[in-house]
């Protein structure tokens, strides 16, 4: 099968073609697994974190990609949850132990044996993938394949981030960074919390205009102060500066939720600007988001069937995966990027 593979960790500022086109053996589904013929796969910043070594794969070569939509071609022994031909989605969670307290409480994203699609096992930048059937999810009929792909990570992790803010209707939410996840969170808020105002911080003028188009009441630069203090803020950036800058915009008791699997080191010295009285005092808090659970994906996909939201997407052929990744690295973003496999 055709696939784009990662053969080593590299610096994309030097190597702009980190993935290579390869011909791999088509996977065979094992016990309780399904074989999925991939239609599309979303492109995520986590792929940059893998390529540049912030969350490196345990072995090489590996096929990245974890926002997968495709059709079941065959099933392994014991797999009976789906029918051949069903359209399913696959996210970041490939497997977990199923036995620990985290798994039993619905927080399998925290399982010590958590394995990630496209990092710990081959992912969706390919024609086929084999996956445990309990890590695949039915896609609502209202979405095309390409529209559904970003829902599986950008949408689901945005949904988890929004839950972790503790936002209630009428309270004010900030978003710092406005890429694939941020634009979906804004759309969620408008449906789930219609009386809540959303304020967006983004360094790109195009991203700020895009946020206003989608219904943000205000959009400013990362360093700007919002016209009103915010009850919670979600950070979806890969660096530290927006974290420090966001804290000054929180109300007393406000919460910053960091939605990032890793932070780059390029601006880690900016943490020295953290001022306890101005940024953290008055019981402000910071909470991280770790991975995404099966529950998050399942609940969010069901919710999308009720919500009037569709991701804004740009498509690329599989062979142009490096182009899509470089645009993401350079912050050339409007909505989500999706690779078309067939």
The arithmetic mean of pLDDT across residues 271-280, rounded, is: 90
Within 13 Å and on the Cβ side, how many CA atoms surround 340?
9
pLDDT value of position 180? 84
Longest dimension (CA), the chain: 60
Percent of the chain clearing pLDDT 90 (strictly above): 89
Return the sign of the alpha-carbon dihedral for residues 43, 153, 99, 101.
Answer: positive
Percent of the chain clearing pLDDT 70 (strictly above): 100
pLDDT in tens, 91-126: 999 999 999 999 999 999 999 999 999 999 999 999
Residue 331: pLDDT band by 50, 70, 90 thresholds?
Answer: confident
Q: What is the pTM for the complete model shown?
A: 0.91
CB burial string 261-299: b at 16+ within 10 A, e below: bebeeeeeeeeeeeeeeebeeeebebeebebbbbbbbeb
Q: Which two tokens stand for residue 96?
A: 């977990």
Residue 310: pLDDT band by 50, 70, 90 thresholds?
Answer: confident
Q: Which two tokens stand for residue 125?
A: 């930048």
Q: Which residues contact 178 (CB under 8 A, 6 or more apart)?
A: 186, 200, 202, 204, 207, 208, 210, 211, 219, 236, 333
Question: CB atoms < 10 A from the CB of 11, how many?
Answer: 10
Q: Is the model more confident about 311 or about 337?
A: 337
Tell me the β-bridge partners of 256: 233, 286
- CA nearest neighbour of 202 among 215, 191, 212, 189: 212
Strand 173-176 to 136-138 pairing = unpaired
Q: Say which DSSP state 238 is in.
A: S
The arithmetic mean of pLDDT across residues 179-197, rounded, is: 93
CA distance 232 to 193: 13
Q: Which two tokens stand for residue 290?
A: 């770790």
CA distance 103 to 215: 37
CA distance 172 to 60: 44
Q: Which two tokens stand for residue 204?
A: 């790109």
pLDDT value of position 233? 98
Cβ–Cβ under 8 Å, residues 266 and 202: no
Question: CB atoms < 10 A from the CB of 106, how many?
Answer: 13
pLDDT in tens, 206-259: 999 999 999 999 999 999 999 999 999 999 999 999 999 999 999 999 999 999
Q: Which domains does the chain have, with CATH numbers?
A: 2-153+292-340 (3.90.180.10), 156-288 (3.40.50.720)
Residue 80: pLDDT band by 50, 70, 90 thresholds?
Answer: very high
Tell me the β-bridge partners of 2: 23
pLDDT value of position 179? 86
Cβ–Cβ under 8 Å, residues 43 and 337: yes
pLDDT value of position 266? 86
pLDDT value of position 308? 75
The arithmetic mean of pLDDT across residues 303-313, rounded, is: 85
pLDDT in tens, 1-38: 999 999 999 999 999 999 999 999 999 999 999 999 99
CA distance 305 to 143: 9
For the chain, the average pLDDT equals 95
Q: Is the model more confident about 175 or about 305?
A: 175
Strand 115-116 to 198-201 pairing = unpaired
For 6, 72, 111, 123, 141, the CA distances from 130, given in Å and listed in that order, are 18, 10, 21, 9, 23
């Amino acid at each position: 099968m055709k696939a784009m593979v990662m053969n080593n960790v590299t610096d994309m500022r030097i190597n702009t073609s980190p993935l290579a086109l390869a011909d791999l053996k088509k996977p065979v589904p094992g016990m309780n697994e399904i074989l999925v013929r991939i239609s599309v796969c979303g492109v995520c910043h986590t792929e940059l974190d893998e390529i540049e070594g912030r969350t490196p794969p345990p072995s090489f070569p590996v096929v990245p990609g974890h926002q997968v939509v495709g059709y079941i071609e065959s099933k392994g022994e014991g797999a009976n949850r789906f029918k051949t031909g069903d359209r399913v989605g696959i996210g970041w969670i490939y497997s977990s132990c199923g036995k620990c307290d985290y798994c039993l409480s619905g927080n399998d994203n925290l399982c010590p044996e958590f394995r990630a699609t496209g990092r710990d096992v081959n992912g969706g930048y390919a024609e086929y993938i084999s996956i445990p059937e309990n890590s695949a999810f039915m896609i609502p009929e209202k979405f095309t394949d390409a529209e559904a792909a970003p829902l599986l990570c950008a949408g689901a992790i945005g949904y988890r981030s929004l839950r972790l803010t503790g936002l209630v209707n009428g309270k004010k939410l900030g978003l710092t960074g406005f890429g694939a996840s941020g634009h979906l969170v804004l759309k969620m808020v408008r449906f789930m919390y219609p009386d809540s105002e959303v304020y967006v911080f983004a360094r790109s003028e195009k991203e700020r205009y895009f946020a206003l188009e989608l219904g943000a009441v205000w959009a400013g630069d990362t360093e700007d102060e919002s016209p009103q203090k915010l009850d919670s803020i979600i950070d979806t950036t890969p660096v530290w500066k927006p974290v420090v800058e966001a804290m000054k915009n929180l109300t007393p008791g406000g919460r910053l939720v960091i939605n990032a699997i890793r932070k780059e080191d390029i601006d880690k010295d900016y943490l020295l600007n953290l001022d306890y009285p101005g940024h953290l005092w008055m019981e402000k808090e910071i909470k991280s988001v770790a991975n995404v659970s099966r529950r998050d994906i399942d609940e969010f996909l069901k919710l999308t069937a009720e919500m009037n939201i569709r991701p804004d997407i740009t498509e690329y052929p599989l062979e142009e995966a490096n182009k899509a990744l470089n645009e993401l690295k350079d912050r050339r973003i409007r909505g989500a990027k999706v690779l078309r496999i067939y």
